[in-house]
Structure formats: structure tokens, C-alpha cells
A and B are shown apart, each in its own frame.
Chain A
Amino acid sequence: MSETERTASEKADFKRELTEVVPHLRAFARGLCGRPDMADDLVQETMLKAWAAQDRFQPGTSMRAWTFVILRNAYLTDMRRNRFRGDFDENVAERILTAPAGQEEPIHLSDMRRALLTLPPERREALLLVGAGGFSYEEAANICGCAVGTIKSRVGRARAALSAMLEDGTIPKRTADDESAHRALLEELDEVAAGNGVSLPTR
């Protein structure tokens, strides 16, 4: 399984970097699956997988991008097992976001969360990576194992949908059909799993 045994110092570096990205993994996971408890389970699973696969991490590359791929794959595997239903925590305390200058109506964090979860997962994921995580389109494409143009298109559609929902106040109560919504993402996972993806650290 392991190619070269890492030195103690390399392991320490890996652990430090892994520790640093844990808050980002939690944020990404929560955006993906919407449930804080499940998101944290997903992150812990990711940490264990990353630790077990650390020999495949190339020092000097982005730990955040590398672990996001692992988290995403773990999420998709769990989706297949129907562990997540695109559900979200209705009981999360409502917090009001600070209104940006010139913005009359503050956006409620819960509205944002709900609107985000109505998006098809592949668009939600793309928007999370680029719009929230600050990844470039190229980095996001590497994480998702798809073309840059695909990511741009997904982000564009996600932004348009969120704008429509948040500005008109028409946020659907629930994801309409989570099963079909995940199909595209799962098909893409098959591509990645088949070795056609750009970056799959656990390959």
C-alpha cells in the first residue's frame, strides 16, 4: 500500500497540515450535506482516510485540495448508501448575517443554507469550492475531476439559482428530488473512480 515510508518529521508536517485544514473540511462538509452532525462524521472519516493515505500526499501541494477530494469521495460513497438525504438541520439557530453596504435586507444565514441545499449537488459543490472556499476554477475542476468549463458552468448556474431564490424570497422548502439530483454527481464519480478523473489521491 505505501510506496515510501515517511520520516517522523514528514509525518509531523503532514499531521500539522491536516490539523490546519480540519476547520475547512468541516465547512465544506456542512455545505455539502447540510447536517452538522453528519458533516462532522464525514470529516472524521476523511481525516482517517487521509492519514492512512498520507504516503500519497505530495508535500508542498495543497493539503486542503487533497483532503477535499477525499471528503468529496467519502460523501459520494455515503450518498450511494443513502446516508444523506440532502436534508438539513431545521433547528439550527437563526443568525443574521451582517448586511453588506448598500444592501437593505440582511440575508439570513438559515435562508442561505436552505437555498444552497436546494441546488443540485454538483452545482452546490462547485459553488462551495469557488464561491465559499476560494478555490480557483482550475483547482475546483481538479478536486471534482472534471473540466474547468464544467465547473464554470455549474458555478454560473448555481449563482443564478441562488440569486433568484434569495432576491425573490422564493426558497423551496426541500430539495425536490434528491435522488435524481445526485445522478450527475454519481456518474461523475464513476468516471473518477474509473481513473479518468484528474486528481484522486486514493487511486
Chain B
Amino acid sequence: MTADKNDTKDSASQGGEKDRNTVNRQKKDAQPGWANGLRQLYDSVVEEELPDSFKDLLSKLDGKN
């Protein structure tokens, strides 16, 4: 996933070569609970069925210029 890639990049950019593994481990230990929850919070909205008001708006767009 993109987010995992970001975490890795984040850790890699934070410290020198020596600290990298430690930082990675700390991040993995410190974050899993809510980091996953944050994505679920976002995804739960993404997965909601689109209200009719949005479908109506989309169907009206073609008439607007």
C-alpha cells in the first residue's frame, strides 16, 4: 500500500543509516493501532453509498459551462 511505502520513506529520511532499523521498529510498535484506524475512518466514508444529492449534482453538471 502507498501508506506503508510512505512510512518507510519517512523512517529512512529521519535518521542516519545506523538509526534506520531502530526507527522502523519503533514506528511499527508505536503506530499500528490507530494508524490502521485512521485509514478505516477515511475508507469508511469512501465506501459509503453516495447520497442522491451527489448523483443529482453529477447529472446536472453537463448542463453547466
Interface-facing stretch out of A15-23, A71-79, A81-89, A194-202:
A15-23
* Interface, chain B (partner A; CB < 8 A): 1-3, 5-6, 9-10, 13, 30-48, 50-51, 53-54, 57-58, 61-62, 64
Residue A109 CB within 8 A of the other chain: yes
Query: Given contacts A22-B54, A97-B37, A134-B1, are A47 and B6 in contact (CB under 8 A)?
Result: no
Give the Cβ gap from A115 to chain B, nearest Cβ, in Å: 8
What mask results when residues 152 to 163 of chain A are scored 1 for a CB within 8 Å of chain B, else 0?
A: 100110010011
- Which secondary structure characterizes the binding site on chain B? helix
Q: Cα distance A135–B3 when bound, in Å? A: 7
The 5 closest A-B pairs by CB, nearest first: A132-B42, A27-B45, A134-B2, A23-B46, A107-B37
Given contacts A47-B57, A47-B61, A163-B34, contact A31 B51 (CB under 8 A): no
Q: Contacts A27-B46, A43-B54 known; A132 to B62 CB distance under 8 Å?
A: no
Is the contact region of chain A dominated by helix, strand, or loop, or is it mixed? helix
Give 1 or 0 for each of A89-133: 1 = CB within 8 Å of chain B CB: 000000101111011010101001101100000000001101111
Asked if A131 meets B39 with Cβ closer than 8 Å, knowing A26-B45, A152-B10, the reply is yes
Indicate if the CB atoms of B46 and A134 lie closer than 8 Å.
Answer: no
With A27-B46, A52-B64, A132-B39 given, is the CB distance from A40 to B6 under 8 Å? Answer: no
What is the bound-complex CA distance between A11 and B39, given in angstroms?
32
Give the nearest-CB partner of A8 in chain B. B62
Inter-chain contacts of B42 with A (CB < 8 A) = 27-28, 31, 128, 132-133
